Homo-oligomer: A and B are copies of this chain.
Amino acid sequence: MARTPPTKPRKNALQARSRATVDALVEATARILVRDGFEKTSTNRIAEIAGVSVGSLYQYFPSKEALVAAVIDRHNDEIMGLVRTTLVEVADLPVDKAVRKLVTVAIEAHRINPKLHRVLAEQIPRTGQLADVEAFNREIHTLVRAYLESRRKEMRKVDVDVATFICVSTIEAVAHNTVLDHAEVLSEKMVRTLVDETTKMVVGYLR
């Protein structure tokens, strides 16, 4: 039945002490993922770095996957925080201003923790439970779609779903490749150029 490892906490951390343990474990997992990569990340090592025993680890996380999932969730939450905020700010702006802000925030989001982002994107086999990424994507699509819908009159006649798909894919890809390919040598000037160009393309497309 349960083909993929469970992801939910076995037990809820109630006391302050145990909450600290849980935090330390998630933090340690993120650190090891960045430092050593997914392959070299073992539960014993995580516990060690967190300054906690393996036994305690398994009090709160039923599997290694659960730990990684927690790291992913934490990272996604940070990103979604940014994105949601921006989409609210953007609601009353015309398409050109809005798109520019969205492109900017996409790049910012990827720059929150580029190393972690890279490991999560490249080294973690997305299998079973770990595909919370879908929910994440769906939310972004929904939010962007709602904005585009509300700004229909400024735009040429387009299928909103198709436009959402293309815009989100494009902006995400440019941001992703910008931050990951060009690694850390990313001048502010370069970023501005890419934001300008991408904005130009997307806005040109929408109207």
Q: Tell me the A residues contacting B by CB distance below 8 Å.
A: 37-39, 122-127, 158-159, 162-163, 165-166, 169-170, 172-174, 177, 193-194, 197-198, 200-202, 204-205
Contact B193 A162 (CB under 8 A): yes
| Supplied contacts A39-B127, A158-B197, 20 more A-B pairs, CB within 8 Å | A37-B125, A37-B127, A38-B125, A122-B125, A122-B126, A159-B193, A163-B197, A165-B174, A165-B177, A165-B194, A166-B174, A166-B197, A166-B198, A170-B174, A172-B173, A173-B173, A197-B205, A201-B201, A201-B202, A205-B205
Report B-chain residues with C-beta under 8 Å of the C-beta of A205. 197, 200-201, 204-205
* Residue of B whose beta carbon sits closest to that of A156: B200
Q: In the complex, how many angstroms separate the beta carbon of A194 from the nearest chain B beta carbon? A: 7
8 closest residue pairs by CB, A with B: A173-B173, A201-B205, A123-B125, A204-B204, A169-B173, A122-B126, A170-B170, A169-B177
